[in-house]
Chains A and B, each alone.
Chain A
Amino acid sequence: MESYICDIVVILAAMVIALRNLSKSYETAEGRLEVLRGIDLDLGAGDCVALTGESGSGKSTLLHLVAGLDRPDAGEILIGGRDISKLDDRGRAAYRRTEVGLVFQQFNLIPSLDVAANIAFHAKLAGRHDSAWENELVERLGVGTLLTRYPEQLSSGQQQRVAIGRTLAARPGLVLADEPTGNLDEANGDAVLDLMFSLSKGTGSTLLMVTHSHRLADRLDRQIHLRSGKIT
């Protein structure tokens, strides 16, 4: 276990995030809606940060921009000094494949693959497939008996454990989680979060988590609050 952590710390040493004057708006039926208005934010390597705010404050949009899922209207997203907003579709896909791990509220597991294949999927795509590390994750996540099952045969808690396993198996420098416990009850949510924090800390990943819950946000190193597209 120790040796893996050392490897990852080496990989992630440069994973520092800096957002500069970031803006994003969408066309809606009522006209143009400015979701993010000049966001500036710095995250250090290994930081665990909670992103809070009311519905519509722009949390998920900010997360999607940092994940390279979408492009800002203006501003820079510097990941390890490189502006990913300047990358083309292929470049951003490579960034998501190799450097980012995503955990969603809806889990978004691949329904056609069994649990084992789901966990290995992102790591294989990233070219970092490591059976020993996956086995360890499986053991720590407690999904060893579920490996041949398909997502639709799992409970919500089990699905989120598998989703976390999939993310961490790829050993990403940056873990982005969007309401990861939003679909789970409190006990299950806490158990899943404990696991995610522990594994993220262990691997030295930077964690940015969107949550509505102040209780959960209090457990992270830092909180950033968004209101009407601005950090308050």
Chain B
Amino acid sequence: MTISTVAAALLSHWRRQPLQLGALMLGLALATALWSGVQAVNAEARASYARAAAALDQNGLAHLVSPGGRSIPRDAFVRLRRAGWNVSPVLEGEYRFGATRLRVIGIEPLTMPAETRTVDLANAGDLLSFISPPGTMVVSPETAEKIRGQTDLALRVSDRMPDGAAFVDIGLAERLLRRDGELTRIVIAENQRPGLEPLGTFAPALSVREPTAQSDIEHLTESFHLNLTAFGFLAFAVGLFIVYSTIGLAFEQRRPTFRTLRCLGVSLSALAVLLLAELVLFALAAGAAGVIVGYLVASLLLPGVAATLEGLYGASVPGTLSLRPEWWLSGFAIAVAGTLVSSTQSLVRLMRVPLLAAAQPQKWGRSSRTGRRFQALAAAALLGLSGALILWADGLQAGFGVLGCLLLGASLLLPAVLSGFLTLMQRASSGALIMWFWADARQQLPGLSLALMALLLALAANVGVGTMVSSFRLTFVGWLDQRLAAELYVAARNELEADRLRAWLATKVESVLPISSVDTEIRGQPMQIFGVVDDPTYRKHWPLIVGLPDVWDRVASGEGVLVNEQFWRRERLRIGDQLDLASDWKSTVVGAYSDYGNPKGQVIAGIDALTSRYPQVSRLRYGLRVQPDQVADLRSSLSDEFGLPPDNIVDQAALKEQSRRIFDRTFLVTGALNTLTLGVAALAMFLSLLTLTEMRLPQLAPVWAMGVTRRDLAILEILRTLVLWLATFTTALPLGLALAWVLLAVVNVEAFGWRVPMHIFPYEWVRLGLVALAAAVVSMLIPLRRLAGLAPSELLKVFANER
């Protein structure tokens, strides 16, 4: 007997069961697609961070930085150069070109080490135009589009530039950022002359920052990518449920073939190897399809992810995807690994079951009492572990641990919960048909439990993430109302115009709220310090989460500062803590405020305190308080008087709308993944129902024979499926709310640094319930049509003795 003969016998099963083969391939391809799609998105984003970090931060080299984040005097650089050190100065900060805020990086092209040069200035003409007034800005094509017409500076486009940043000559940066004689960092080239005096001799106040493998943005966005990975894994697990279920049934149905083959002399090990080879073959084929679909999924998700990353972290990721060998190889690997994991139990059973044991495909899926007990125990242990993690562990990893244990524990517990519910209903019933209905539903439960567990996970994820996003949105909208209290926001184009504007506004509006800020580093973190005037607007509207009773008096007098929530939590600050804001500026924390959507830490100080330390601070932007009915007039007056472009005068409503739009765009990817996961769960349900329909005849035929019509049986089948869906949906609600709580109270705090209160949205549950119901009805259609159209001869086969 040749291997090919045995293989042909084994493969013939799939020829007779094309639906089963389709389910296996589809489940595997979908699981691979969603997993590898998410991985592709993550890989693309990370590659983008790495490119940006290498280009903008020269993070492959060591730097000299000021420990408190303070500016470095230019003299330090001069001293180092004179001592023979091959170093190069960098000055950077944020600058607004119209409505576009750019990270301006001032470099000195003649001393910048060649290995980190993103800007090609080899041509003498290019170099001259770069360093000569009025100067040239090197930007990406997208950035060039955004700021065209907003600046008089010459623009040079480079594909190697990341979006949202501009390289300029350091002299130009000094002028733009109003930081004459200051440096942000000093890049140290790798090649240095031997025998130099130590750096500390010339710059004792500076410290060396060694090259880092991980950029700041990569570190900042780590939690987001972990979130995405968790979602991808959830979808992968839901897809694998289909694979596990199909392989289990196929093995059971082929038991007679296995028995015959073994009776004919095929060894157990040869059989196992052939089955393993068959599975790997399927995994590779489905993996290929999965990788292709994954690429499409990633292409669809990437713009949403890019929007999220920009909205939450200010990270720029290009919206195009490149095919990476490591990505598609990992897609194949995960497909094979998933198949092997899903088939382990069936293979082990094959090895253990006695040669002559009869196949029981009808009983397939029915778990043993021991198995059920073990499952319930494992569920209890996992739920207990999640509780323990909440109580005694902290950190992002612990947060995800809580989520994992909670979801897995609850899904393992689901069959027991549903079985208990159905038993109760059966006991409470008296009519024969009703009693049979509940008893039969309970009997169907094991066969459907994997699909129902997948459904539970998908529904709970939808409820949980939906509650989190909606709670966040509700809080965010309320917060916007507080934070954007000024009716109009205006930006002057230069300081001269700003002086005129202030003078003109003094008699036209109720109050003028300057929006002035400096970028700095506090406690090793990039920070913004804003200066505020003493105005009732802040006292009335500012979204404080904690503060002293006289917090605004203290801020106005310069005695204290406010910090945003993320910095407050990250640094575990308390009221009364001292902060080093600059070399000669220490202040006391007197309160904290919510500041959603801002990846950076922020400090609010009195405007006088800020301007006394930073006299050059930009004073171009203002919030204006006027009666709402005067906004339109004021807007046109401003336009007439100063000729300001529309982008420089923004009213509150437009700003809120824009913020809401950004918010909604931020969570597009979450919505897309939620929908995909729910879709896979619905598919799992559909395939399970279809598979079970094939095995339902022996259970339905006796009831039909005793006088229940096929139509009534079909109606009962619909009701049975609906009851199971409804019970699963009901179970998913508390689980989803628990998930939302963990996301809001644990994961988000760790990931973003802010905590949002949880709200309940029953309307969304109804909407989700209707979507789930529609999916249930769709998943029932084909199995039901089969059942309703069943010829009596098919049912009679169940009773036939002579077949």
Contacts and interface: CB of A to CB of B under 8 A. Distances in A.
Contacts of B705: 67, 69, 96, 102, 108
A105 B801 contact: yes
B793 A106 contact: no
A102 B703 CA distance: 11
A203 interface: no
Which among B443, B706, B793, B799 has the greatest number of chain A C-beta atoms within 10 A? B706
A129 B802 CA distance: 34
Interface residues of B, number: 32
B798 A108 contact: yes
Contact of A108 (B702, B707, B709, B711): B702
B440 A125 contact: no
B439 interface: yes
Q: Majority SS of interface residues in chain B?
A: helix
A117 interface: yes
By Cβ-Cβ distance, the 8 closest A-B pairs, closest first, are: A97-B707, A124-B432, A112-B443, A112-B439, A96-B707, A108-B702, A93-B709, A112-B440
Contact of B799 (A97, A106, A120, A125): A106
A60 B800 contact: yes
A89 B709 contact: yes
Contacts of B755: none
A144 interface: no
B699 interface: yes
Contacts of B707: 93-98, 125-126
A55 B701 contact: no
A109 interface: yes
B97 interface: no
Nearest to B431: A124
Interface residues of A, number: 39
Contacts of A26: 793
B436 A112 contact: yes
A121 interface: yes
Given A122-B706, A125-B707, A70 B792 contact: yes
B708 interface: yes
Nearest to B360: A152
A26 B707 CA distance: 24
A76 interface: no
B439 A117 contact: yes
Nearest to A125: B432
A182 interface: yes
Contact of A64 (B443, B708, B796): B796
A144 to B, nearest CB: 21
Interface in A108-155: 108-113, 117, 120-126, 129
Interface in B784-799: 792-793, 795-796, 798-799
Given A70-B793, A89-B710, A117 B443 contact: no
A219 to B, nearest CB: 20
A71 B800 CA distance: 16
B801 A179 contact: yes
B699 to A, nearest CB: 6
B802 A111 contact: no
A130 to B, nearest CB: 13
B50 interface: no
Given A70-B793, A111-B443, A113-B439, A125 B709 contact: no
Which among A93, A112, A129 has the greatest number of chain B C-beta atoms within 10 A? A112
A229 B796 CA distance: 18
Contacts, number: 96
Interface string A53-93: 00110001000100101110000000000000000011001
Given A60-B800, A102-B705, A178-B801, A69 B792 contact: yes
Contacts of A55: 802
Contacts of A56: 802
A96 to B, nearest CB: 4
Which among B710, B712, B799 has the greatest number of chain A C-beta atoms within 10 A? B799
Nearest to A163: B702
A69 B706 CA distance: 10
A56 B802 CA distance: 7
B9 interface: no
A158 to B, nearest CB: 17
B435 interface: yes
Given A108-B702, A110-B699, A110-B702, A125 B708 contact: yes
Contacts of B432: 117, 120-125, 129
A64 B703 contact: no
11 contacts: A55-B802, A60-B801, A67-B705, A70-B792, A94-B707, A96-B705, A110-B440, A110-B699, A125-B432, A125-B433, A129-B432
Nearest to B698: A108
Interface string B258-284: 000000000000000000000000000
A108 B701 CA distance: 8
B442 interface: yes
A69 B439 contact: no
B799 A104 contact: yes
Nearest to B362: A111
Contacts of A98: 707
A70 B797 CA distance: 12
Nearest to A114: B439
A71 B799 CA distance: 16
B795 to A, nearest CB: 7
Nearest to A71: B792
Interface string B697-731: 01101111111111110000000000000000000
A112 B793 contact: no
